[in-house]
Structure 1
């Protein structure tokens, strides 16, 4: 009898163990198929920022922080190309204004000198007399568009000088390069001839030199022909 009970107990225990092993895999399988979740907490923000796209323009740094000396670097200031161009344009405008003022002062000084000059009229109607007459105007002022001793440009000077000898010339250097008789080349030129092209006019005084009105800075005076006529020119004889 006892043997039967013991045998029954062993069988029951074995069945219970088998049932346990059968249940456990099912339980594990169900747990594995369920989604896993996790959570993380963040520090609460005290300030709500709405303008997320705004560029940061400043930062606060602890005054006691040590950044290896970078906080004391002297960073050079640079300019944009537009700023450089504007600065260059302003400098040029200032220089142009200074040059214009200097030119006006020079012209005024030359005009003061002219007031003290006495123009000696020509003593003859010859080419040599014309050259002599023209040379007395050294130092007279250059004024663009002028044609009197108060101020003249290159062709205005030539026109004025010849007018004192009863010879009427065109107003521009280009037209003066067509008057009178053409001279073949400089080797045939004589004092009193007109040297002219489309941009300048002068009176030939001999030895490769001319008398002419040049610039506001240089005024009226003698120069070498080559220095004022680097290119082509005409030689015209009217006397």
Structure 2
């Protein structure tokens, strides 16, 4: 029993002494070592600044040859006030009216020139209702051609003949082919009289004498006097008065 207590006491003493020695840090002097004590870093020194990868990338350098201009060179859209818009509208309306007036004067001058240039037929001594038709038809030189029309504001060839005869109480079809079959046939141009209708399947006109007819030709030529050579192929001469 005493041996066991002695052994246990000895072990406790040894353990306490070991713990005491383990907690003591030996002090080393430079003089004792005979050399200088040198410390060194475990990691190399960082000399560069890490970039903030979350920051927005920007650049402040520009090309020296670049021309960026200035405020004065900016093309800024200009807006108009209501007064300026009204003034511009009035000016446009005035210019349009002036252009229309000039066009009307030009058309009037053109009609006068056409009347002066057309062959003249003396209907003054002509008598009879046919002569009256021819005389009436002759006043429309220079009037416009409009396909399908039958009034002075615009007519085609058969529409012109239809309109003229309507003023004398004669109703005619609006077709050159149909007009080529109305009234009484005339045997030849030598027998034709002013007021007769000259027509075929493609054209119609009113004979005014001397081998000439009054007819609506085309949008470009309008209504004018021509010879009967305007007809392509044959034609018929019809007398309705």
Bigger Rg, which one: 2
Given the two structures, how large is their TM-score scaled by the length of structure 2?
Answer: 0.48
